[in-house]
Amino acid sequence: MTVRSKSFLFVAFALALAGCAGRNTHDLLNKTTVSVPASDIAATHEIFVATTRQQATKDPRQVFGGDRSLTTGYARVDVTVPKVHQVSAIERAKGSADSNPAKQFTATDVVHYGDASQFAKAVGANIAVSGDRALVFVHGFNNGFDDGVYRLTQIAHDTKYPGTPVLFSWASSAKTTGYIYDKDSSTAARDDLEATLRMLAKTRVKSIDIIAHSMGTWLTMEALRQLAITGDRDLDGKLGYVVLASPDIDVDVFKKQMIRYGKPDKPFAILLSGDDRALKLSSIISGDKPRVGDYGNAADLASYGVVVADLTKTKGGDRLNHAKFADNPMLVQLLGDRLRTPAALRSNEPNSAEFDNIGQGIGKAVGSMAEIVITTPFKVLTIATGGQ
């Protein structure tokens, strides 16, 4: 076997392991209605959706599929969370089986909006009664529409986010072999994400927070770069937290994006981990170029005005260690504590004592010792979180 053939097989194997979701089916809706007592339900979340996916006409239970649309579609998905839910978990039915709302996350209703104005009216009304804040989640590679809906539901529920959750779902193919297709799809969605952020900024919202994961961080940074080019990089002062989790971005590309954006008024948060196996494989696919999400020089990144949290010593929820921010109970609680206080009320420089207090409190609840190393544009903080 030639060296080239070996390389191709290795990359194919790597792609088979590197997906962020990896489910065989992507059904969101049940075949039949499953009723359970209201006492078995912890909460119902309204997830507003802007998407560049086409509607899934062949598989309507998926609602939106992996094919690209040249226009943005809008919807709302109502999702119940069972009382038995454990923090950081996404309890789901296996395969295409019906979800049991008493045991699993269940999408109970989908509302489609005819155009952007209808969606803006609906999401604006929700923002007005839910805390004047919006949390935009941008998913990563190999995610079906269902994956994004359930992940945002879990984040909003577990962090007790005081506002309106908005999913931006770009057209991932939801296939482990679709890395290039997904990269092109995320690039094609830049204008749509920019327009969605501008739409939200025109509502009564006071703060728009963004959490992006994996390849979704590339899309997010490109949209923010475009906002900066137009002279409105902070959405007229409404841009809140920007959390880039496990960024699948070439380090040099990220630096150029930050140079064009400029040092943020409120530092962006980069969550990276040296044991992120998915990003190591992504690096190989990209010609052995380091990715931001497993970059070993936090101080280099921080010099561009970002806060870097190194999660290497914390435990991930799967063997890839690619979604620690959402599938590690301690990190979910820490993220929730940060999100519940609007970014405008936080100082630009994190306070060491404040981080220590947060870590100690979580440590008492979780157990074995772990450390998060936080590098800011000003200092390096090592926090014994007590979490695993």
Band of the pLDDT at 185, cuts 50, 70, 90? very high
Give the tokens for residue 322.
């690619």
**pLDDT at site 249:** 97
**pLDDT at site 229:** 98
Band of the pLDDT at 13, cuts 50, 70, 90? very low
pLDDT at 4 over 90: no
Cβ atoms of 284 and 304 within 8 Å: the answer is: no
**pLDDT at site 5:** 43
Q: What is the pLDDT of residues 341-378, one digit of tens each?
A: 888 776 444 444 444 333 333 333 333 446 788 888 76
**pLDDT at site 288:** 80
Give the pLDDT mean for 305-325: 91
Give the pLDDT mean for 144-167: 97
Residue 238 to residue 223: CA distance in whole angstroms: 15
Give the tokens for residue 171.
């057209």
Alpha carbon separation from 81 to 32, 86, 162, 337, 339 (Å, rounded)? 18, 10, 17, 21, 20
Band of the pLDDT at 161, cuts 50, 70, 90? very high
The SS3 call for residue 62 is helix
Residue 334 to residue 347: CA distance in whole angstroms: 17
Say what angle helices 116-129 and 190-201 make with each other, to 10 degrees. Answer: 50
Q: What is the pLDDT of residues 230-270, one digit of tens each?
A: 999 999 999 999 999 999 999 999 999 999 999 998 879 99
* Domain assignments of the chain as residue spans, ordered by start: 3-308
Q: Can you name the residues that pair with 111 across neighbouring β-strands?
A: 76
Residue 26 to residue 256: CA distance in whole angstroms: 36
What is the longest distance spanned by two Cα atoms in the chain? 63
Say how many residues make up the chain. 388
Nearest residue to 268 (alpha-carbon basis) of 289, 239, 291, 229: 239
**pLDDT at site 346:** 65
**pLDDT at site 371:** 77
**pLDDT at site 9:** 42
pLDDT at 124 over 90: yes
**pLDDT at site 363:** 36
Q: What is the pLDDT of residues 209-225, one digit of tens each?
A: 999 999 999 999 999 99
Lowest pLDDT segment from 74-83, 174-183, 277-286:
277-286
Cβ atoms of 195 and 77 within 8 Å: the answer is: no
pLDDT at 298 over 90: yes
Name the burial class of residue 161, with classes exposed (0-12), middle (13-18) and buried (19+) by CB atoms within 10 angstroms of its CB: buried
Cβ atoms of 272 and 325 within 8 Å: the answer is: no
Band of the pLDDT at 180, cuts 50, 70, 90? very high
List all residues 6 or more positions away from 158 whose beta carbon is below 8 Å from its beta carbon: 87, 88, 326, 332, 333, 336
Helices (H), the chain: 3-17, 116-129, 145-159, 179-188, 190-201, 215-229, 251-261, 277-285, 298-302, 324-327, 329-340, 352-366
Alpha carbon separation from 166 to 32, 149, 270 (Å, rounded)? 27, 9, 21
